[in-house]
Amino acid sequence: MLSCLFLLLLAPLSALALPASRWVGQFVWEIDQKPFAGDSTPPALAPPTPPAPARASALSVVYQFQDGTQLENLASRSNGYLVLSAVSTPKVYGLDPRARIPRAKLLYTFPEATSLTGIIEAAPDLFVVTTGNYSGFEGDPGSFCAWSIDFNTPSPSVKMITRLSDAGALNGMTTVEGLPDTVLIADSRNGAIWRLNTKTGDHHIVIQHVLFNSTASFPLGINGLTSLDNTLYFTNSAQAFYGRVPVDIDDDCSATAEPEIIARAGPEVFGLDDIALDWAGRGWVATHHHSLTEISVEGKQRNFTHSDLAEPTSVIFGRGSKKAERTLYVTTAGWGTAGGQVIAVDTCLI
């Protein structure tokens, strides 16, 4: 999530000045990669196949902030509305992507924080969001809190759930089927996953592993987090891979096997961020600087690049209609002084 700002500083200008052909329309690369697990060495990635243009209607910019706001994450309500969090400001916004002229509406400004990170629907129309402070790209331990936003009232009701005093840098979040009132939260600094009871505020680390760690050159380890069939899927920004770990929901979400790497980032990708899973269990990952990567359960990758994708940070499938359910909504941090975007991608057209 927070990796885009750091990567922009690291990347030379030549990395951003791509050949003109890569900035026209939308292109697809297919990367053949066999799966591998544990600490085994991944096979080398095959060279990408020649780019094939996709239909231009596959992608559209729904909304773009004009004030330099850098979006960090998003969630989808059952009525199709989107809830957006920003990392550059402690504000959460609402947006109807189906409106004739979509407009972002400020819902709440959180106190004593500089940034918002993860956001997830924990119960019908009840969302959990994490807030905290960042100094450069380092989370400020002791500054992170979890809040609830309840849309089951005439106007959104916001309250603090708890302060996670020992958290290092809270990031992606997920729910787990069969565990009500529970969210799991990635800690990018501590290389850990926290379990939070959304009603009582009780919280503790349930899994900590070297595959969640950051590196000396990049401070954000485990980043995106989602779940399917008692398996957690995650990205690691610093180590540049997409992985999974099975958990036992009857044993405090403890890991039932070692975390494993499904696929490493391809050579055209500068960093992996948040994840959404589709009906087939494929992971759709926001990848920097201007792409999305689809990763199969077996680890085969397809990378989609488009000039309108200005530092993707998060992805989620829409809700409320068949068309919305095949639409992948993407948030971006934006380029330079340009604000972050909400982009709609029709996954049937790419």
Residue 38 has a pLDDT of: 44
> Hey, is 15 helix, strand or coil?
helix
Residue 43 has a pLDDT of: 37
Residue 10 has a pLDDT of: 44
Whole-number Å distance between alpha carbons of 58 and 56: 5
Stretch 137-157: mean pLDDT, rounded?
A: 92
* pLDDT-derived band at 158, boundaries 50, 70, 90: very high
| Sheet architecture: strand order including 283-288 | 52-53, 26-31, 301-306, 291-295, 283-288, 271-277
**Sign of the dihedral through C-alpha 81, 27, 66, 135:** positive
- Judged against a pLDDT cut of 60, whether residue 30 lies above it is answered with no
* pLDDT-derived band at 3, boundaries 50, 70, 90: low
DSSP assigned state of 68: -
- Judged against a pLDDT cut of 50, whether residue 15 lies above it is answered with no
Question: What is the tens place of the pLDDT at every residue in 243-281?
Answer: 999 999 999 999 999 999 999 998 888 889 999 999 999
Q: How far is CA 313 from CA 117, 207, 253, 259, in A?
A: 10, 24, 27, 23
Residue 32 has a pLDDT of: 41
Angle at the Cα of 324 (from 318 to 330), degrees rounded to 5? 45
Whole-number Å distance between alpha carbons of 200 and 270: 39
What value does the CA radius of gyration of the chain take, rounded to a whole number of Å? Answer: 19
Exposure b/e, 214-231, CB count within 10 A at least 16 = b = beeebbbbbbbbbbeebe
Residue whose structure tokens are 């604000």: 339
pTM score, two decimals?
A: 0.85
- State what percent of residues in the chain have pLDDT above 90: 75
Helix H or strand E encompassing 83: strand 82-86
Residue 9 has a pLDDT of: 41
Q: How far is CA 220 from CA 80, 102, 187, 248, 322, in A?
A: 31, 33, 9, 26, 36
Residue 136 has a pLDDT of: 64
Closest to 117 in 3D by CA, of 105, 129, 126: 129
Helix H or strand E encompassing 324: helix 322-325
